[in-house]
Amino acid sequence: MTHYLDHAATTPMLPAAIEAFVESAGSVGNASSLHTAGRAARRTVEESRERIAAALGCRPSEVVFTSGGTEADNLAVKGTWAARRGADPARTRVVSSSVEHHAVLDSVEHLVRSRGAQVSWLEPDRCGHVATGDLRAVLAEHGASTALVSVMWANNEVGAVQPVAELAAVAHEHGVPFHTDAVQGLAHLPVRFDASGADLMTVTAHKVGGPVGVGALLARRDAALEPQLHGGGQERQVRSGTLDVPAVHAFAVALEETVAARDVEAKRVLGLRDRLLEGALGLGLGITVGGCWHPGDGEQRLPGNAHLVVPGCEGDSLLYLLDAAGVECSTGSACQAGVPQPSHVLLAMGHSEAEARGALRLSLGHTSTDADVDAVLAALPGVVERARQAGGSR
């Protein structure tokens, strides 16, 4: 039996979302076409847009469909920077955190390398949290030259939840738009665009039981964005491309169902996470928790995030050995160009490179059960022993 504990990477599609996808996939029609089939497709898109807007606390006109979170982050960061600099050449700076997803990090680095941007990185504390005081200090010095502040809602590796509304308020004190990548928080946190104070917010379907390949950038009507794709201008003239009608429909259905069950589901998953972490720490293997964890806390740390640092082990070895034992999870490291790299998130939080290489991310979601937790705890002692033998450490 396989035990899937990688919901932070992608979630299994909800049955209702699959049904919605299949229903729409059986109909022909480009949502930009004017004939009957095209108008039917457009109706599905616009009804889905309204449902997504209602679930996330925004206007339908603020929902800009994309191919997923990465495209939405790129549009938010690059598009805002270009538009703001175009209106005011002095605004060349981006302020972001050093623990962002690579979709934001690499977008910022691209602007630095290719467009002459400056960047100020906000460093996290040992828990992975960014301080509003640090942002205030940066903007006190560089506010007039800053085009955008971008800080994620919840971290994809260690689950740290950021004070988004407070950060957005500080950015607005200096007349700077605020973007947040809310991809990881959407399933288990009370994510609302209207309450967040953000000008731009990234969301995606496949983290809430929807399909891979569709997401959205929520963008206030007065948000200045320069398109990063050029063509038909289908989405508010800032995003071009024929819309994937079945995926958009399934996204709306999955999001509605997730939001309706979110409070109950978050408590259920929180209980599983705490049992997993308590059990792992009690195995006598020297395991520690990446980031800060307090039992019962689902506000400062994502309810479904269980991040383990295992001394004397390589994360990849742990991953493959757990996979062989029927447990599917992730490491805390990114793999770029085929070369495993230590997690930039853990390094930024003050962990050593050795610690950052020996990390496991076990993430729980709507299919997770006590049996999944039992399987992890049963497999870990043997897996850790073998991984340490392979690495020459005991």
Which residues participate in catalysis according to the annotation? 335
Name the 3-class secondary structure at 65: strand
* φ, ψ dihedrals at 307, nearest 5°: -110, 120
Beta bridge partners of 3: 327
Q: Which of 323, 308, 11, 293 is nearest to 129 (CA)?
A: 293
Give φ, ψ of 330 to 5 degrees. Answer: -130, 170
Helices 370-391 and 245-281: angle between axes, nearest 10 degrees: 70
Burial class of 6 by CB neighbour count within 10 A (0 to 12, 13 to 18, 19+) = middle
If one counts every other C-beta atom within 10 angstroms of the C-beta of residue 130, the result is 25
CB 276 within 8 A of CB 246: no
Q: Are 238 and 219 in contact (CB under 8 A)?
A: yes
How do 146-150 and 327-328 pair as beta strands?
unpaired
Q: Which residue carries 């509605």 as its tokens?
A: 256
Q: Which of 37, 4, 55 is nearest to 252 (CA)?
A: 55
Torsion of CA 141, 193, 151, 4, to 10 degrees: 170
Q: Which of 174, 155, 149, 152 is nearest to 164 (CA)?
A: 152
Closest by Cα among 182, 105, 187, 173 to 144 = 173
What is the distance between the alpha carbons of residues 139 and 167, in angstroms, rounded to a whole number? Answer: 11
H helix or E strand, kind and range, residue 217: strand 215-219
The pair of structure tokens assigned to 86 is: 């175009």
Q: How many helices (H) and strands (E) does the chain have?
A: 13, 15
Angle at 60 between CA 59 and CA 66, to 5 degrees: 120
